Amino acid sequence: MSDLDRHVLPARRLAGRIPAEMDRRHQQDAFPGAEQVHAPDGAPNILLVMLDDVGFGTSSAFGGPCRTSTIERLARDGAGYTRFHTTALCSPTRAATLTGRNHHSVGMGVISEMATRAPGYTGVRPDSAATVARVLRGNGYATGAFGKMHQTPPWETTTAGPFDRWPTEEGFDTFYGFLGAEADHFVPVLYDGRRQVDPPRTPEEGYHLTEDLVDRAIRWTDELGSFAPDQPWFCYLPFGAVHAPLHVPESYRDRYSGEFDDGWDALRERTLARQKELGVVPEDTELGPWAPGLPHWDELDHDERRVAARLMELYAGFLEHTDDQVGRMIDHLEATGALENTLVLYMVGDNGASTEGGRLGAFNYLAGLNGIPSTTEELLENWDSLGGPESYPHFPSSWALALNTPYQWAKQVASHYGGTRNGLVAHWPGRIAEPGRLRHQWHHCVDITPTILEAAGLPMPHTVDGVAQKPLEGVGMAYTFTAPDAPDRHTTQYFEIFGNRGIYDHGWTAVTAQRAPWLMATGGVDLTPLSESRWELYDTSVDWSQSRDLAAEHPEILERLKTKFIAEAARYDVLPLDDSTVGRQAGAENRPPHPMAGRSSITLYPHMDGLNEKAAPKLFNRGFLLSASLDVAPEDAEGDPCEGVLLSLGGRFGGMALYLLEGVPVFEYNFFGRARGKAEGTAPLAPGAHTVELEFAYDGGIAAGADLVLFVDGEQLGAGRIAVTAPAMFSMNETLDVGRSRGSAVSHAYDGAFPVRGAVLHHVRVDLQSGTELPRARRERIELATH
């Protein structure tokens, strides 16, 4: 359609209008009609695969210990990239990848859950930075996303919207996956479009999220092949794997038994040797310095080593399983003939490997995110369940350093290549010269969008939906497909995450690591003032792994690069720098919107299950009253009493729930599986109307205890206590549910969704108490004592 102006979306016709005759019988020229916009002739399908938390030295294709036959296969028949970079954190990498602009330029300076009102950190993509999916869809592509998005602001995930930043409004015709940072791979909270759906099977029936995502992607491409065989598609396949929790199908859990018994120091040496053999690093590459504060293998005792090795085995099995599922997708495309005209871009990680499992690893790493580390004893006690649905594990931090070989540091540390250098493979039959030959050009995830547009033969429009667009800030990589030795085109790039920052410029890097990533959940960390940060300088044209600091030898180069970083930071909305993590939103003036802000009483209805924890009423570090209004039906013919979840927040690995069990009201608080507080009634509810109330009488302060007082129709029927409570969150993926439970169950007393039956639940009211307000039960006790 050469008469289209593709620089403006929706695309406009350039040709003049055909004149109409008075009589249809005399009309000679055919009207163009409402012809659909088509992609350019020969435009390829695009498959963009993204793994989560995979370091450069992890995949066997880049010298690592984890067997990834699909990555190897695609690299052998395409091209592997050895100097490709991400932002060092998930949401920022995803935003930069899909928009072609730097992550601060599109408001994603950190993960969306930590957004503030500073321009580079709002968590809200501006309309002036349309996604590549929107551009492709506007040019005749079918577009689908299957997996982890992590770009929708949490406060926009309710049914009130707005929906502008949901996947289906950001350019994807089809979306199936999850919106947050991570998922329970056995019982995920899923969306199909904007509608929450249950997984198609249970863990007992063999369900695993990664397999489900590939099933859906295959089904989608098959449908397009049947209904629109000439229409190219863009399939975005961003897995939740291998981000924690390390949830591994049983058949993959023991595939690496014994392979990591010699530890992470030995693995670093072994991986570097293999990398040199493969040519992914030069022969003179040295191992980067070890991160201060993390133990070497010989500093662990026997039990600590045993646990650490097992957790690494699970991670490796998790990655191999994920890569095998990508292989299943590739095999299917090849069998249907679609692979021949498909550009595959396989990003082997959205950042470096993660240190968020803590020094010794974690059985329930959500507790670690609340500053409550796991113990070796806890891991040993739960040995048989590790990797399965009853666990939420992560490996020890030191493994991340080995998986990022040969580089320093890890995920979150945007200054050093351990956090930002990831493998990339491009595969496009007949379009990549010298298949199997590595490419060593320096590139960044911001270059993915321009590469896709180059391959499709499309310009980046200057106007989308009436909004003028920011210029692309990335550099297309298609030149490397035909010229393996072409000189670099991406020559300058800044980096920043949590105050860890640096700049690359024509081979030189000036960097400073502001904070250790395994301390993200630790409040009150004594950080060096940003103005006093110690900068390092590396010449990566001769020092591939940033192992030789030249700051003292070339102070003039260092000062030039530091000045250049400030200029780039000002240009791309990186300022003001902020090195905080858990306290990032302190101060009302800095917080992003919240759908229930300023309200002390909120009424929730049974159809409102699946409310993101960040959008739910704030129930941490405060007292509250839950009031459920319901009508209990007479017992049925079998004599079954009413039961089910009235309100639930969180899940198996941390949460709270008010529920009916055989007609008896119960409230249970699950402190990350380590402690449980319970208040329960003494008899089943009689038929008729009732109000079940739970007063959470909080002690005050942070993570303090609370008295639990249960009332039915105003009469106190049960009481209990929880000695300690969650300081910040229960989960990154579980939800607040009314009338049933999505995801995993808070209590061992019930299984699955446990919907209300034998009663009609009208609503649950949540009343939030102020810091000075006395809980009702205590107030009544005081009144009794004074009379």
Nearest alpha carbon to residue 416 among 307, 232, 540, 280: 540
Position 782 confidence tier, pLDDT thresholds 50, 70, 90: very low
Mean pLDDT value across residues 308-316: 98
- Which pLDDT score is estimated for 13? 66
| Lowest mean pLDDT, pick from 34-43, 254-263, 515-524 | 515-524
- Which pLDDT score is estimated for 737? 96
Q: Report the distance separating Cα 551 and Cα 277, nearest Å.
A: 31
Contact 85, 422 (CB under 8 A): yes
pLDDT at 93 > cutoff 70: yes
pLDDT at 587 > cutoff 80: no
- Which pLDDT score is estimated for 336? 97
- The amino acid present at 190, given as its one-letter code, is L
One CATH from 2.30.42.10, 2.60.40.10, 3.40.50.300, 2.60.120.200 for 596-785:
2.60.120.200
pLDDT at 475 > cutoff 80: yes
Mean pLDDT value across residues 741-763: 96
| pLDDT tens-digit readout, 396-415 | 999 999 999 999 999 999 99
Q: Report the distance separating Cα 652 and Cα 480, nearest Å.
A: 48
pLDDT at 775 > cutoff 60: no
pLDDT at 86 > cutoff 50: yes
Q: Report the distance separating Cα 207 and Cα 187, nearest Å.
A: 8
Nearest alpha carbon to residue 401 among 499, 497, 303, 287: 287
pLDDT at 327 > cutoff 90: yes
Q: Report the distance separating Cα 347 and Cα 345, nearest Å.
A: 6
Share of the chain above pLDDT 90, in %: 87
Contact 90, 150 (CB under 8 A): yes
pLDDT at 359 > cutoff 60: yes
Position 34 confidence tier, pLDDT thresholds 50, 70, 90: low
| pLDDT tens-digit readout, 372-403 | 999 999 999 999 999 999 999 999 999 999 99
Position 269 confidence tier, pLDDT thresholds 50, 70, 90: very high
pLDDT at 290 > cutoff 50: yes
Stronger pLDDT, 216 or 582, i.e. the higher one: 216
* Helical residues (DSSP H) of 337-416, grouped into ranges: 365-369, 376-381, 397-403
Position 773 confidence tier, pLDDT thresholds 50, 70, 90: low
- The SS3 call for residue 288 is coil
Q: Report the distance separating Cα 252 and Cα 255, nearest Å.
A: 5
Position 787 confidence tier, pLDDT thresholds 50, 70, 90: very low
Q: Where are the beta strands (DSSP E) in 149-231?
A: 174-178, 190-192, 195-197
- Which pLDDT score is estimated for 190? 97
Sequence spans of domains, the chain: 45-561, 596-785
Q: How many CB atoms lie within 10 A of CB 567?
A: 11
Share of the chain above pLDDT 70, in %: 95
pLDDT at 522 > cutoff 60: no
- Which pLDDT score is estimated for 783? 47
- Which pLDDT score is estimated for 785? 41
The per-residue DSSP string of 703-770 comes to S--EEEEEEETTEEEEEEEES---SS-S-SS-EEEESS--SS-SSTTS-TT---BSEEEEEEEEEEPP
Position 1 confidence tier, pLDDT thresholds 50, 70, 90: very low
* Helical residues (DSSP H) of 256-301, grouped into ranges: 263-278
Average pLDDT, the chain: 94
Position 24 confidence tier, pLDDT thresholds 50, 70, 90: confident
Strands 443-444 and 174-178: unpaired
| Lowest mean pLDDT, pick from 33-42, 195-204, 762-771 | 33-42
pLDDT at 786 > cutoff 50: no
Is the fold of 45-561 the same as that of 596-785? no
- Which pLDDT score is estimated for 94? 98
| Lowest mean pLDDT, pick from 118-132, 152-166, 690-704 | 152-166
Position 15 confidence tier, pLDDT thresholds 50, 70, 90: low
Mean pLDDT value across residues 417-438: 98
pLDDT at 512 > cutoff 50: yes
Mean pLDDT value across residues 491-505: 98
Residue 185, token pair as written in the block: 């791979």
Mean pLDDT value across residues 205-211: 98
- Which pLDDT score is estimated for 588? 61
- Which pLDDT score is estimated for 777? 52
Mean pLDDT value across residues 565-571: 98
45-561 classified as CATH 3.40.50.2020: no
pLDDT at 560 > cutoff 80: yes
Position 778 confidence tier, pLDDT thresholds 50, 70, 90: very low
pLDDT at 586 > cutoff 80: no
Position 48 confidence tier, pLDDT thresholds 50, 70, 90: very high
pLDDT at 458 > cutoff 80: yes
- The SS3 call for residue 307 is helix
Q: Report the distance separating Cα 624 and Cα 770, nearest Å.
A: 9
Mean pLDDT value across residues 428-450: 98
Position 781 confidence tier, pLDDT thresholds 50, 70, 90: very low
111-115, Cβ contacts within 8 angstroms, sequence gap of 24 or more: 111/150, 111/181, 112/150, 112/151, 112/152, 112/153, 112/154, 113/154, 113/180, 113/181, 113/614, 113/732, 114/581, 114/584, 114/585, 115/153, 115/585, 115/592
pLDDT at 306 > cutoff 90: yes
- Which pLDDT score is estimated for 644? 97
Strands 233-238 and 142-148: parallel
pLDDT at 31 > cutoff 80: no
| Lowest mean pLDDT, pick from 121-135, 154-168, 190-204, 577-591 | 577-591
Strands 688-698 and 624-632: antiparallel
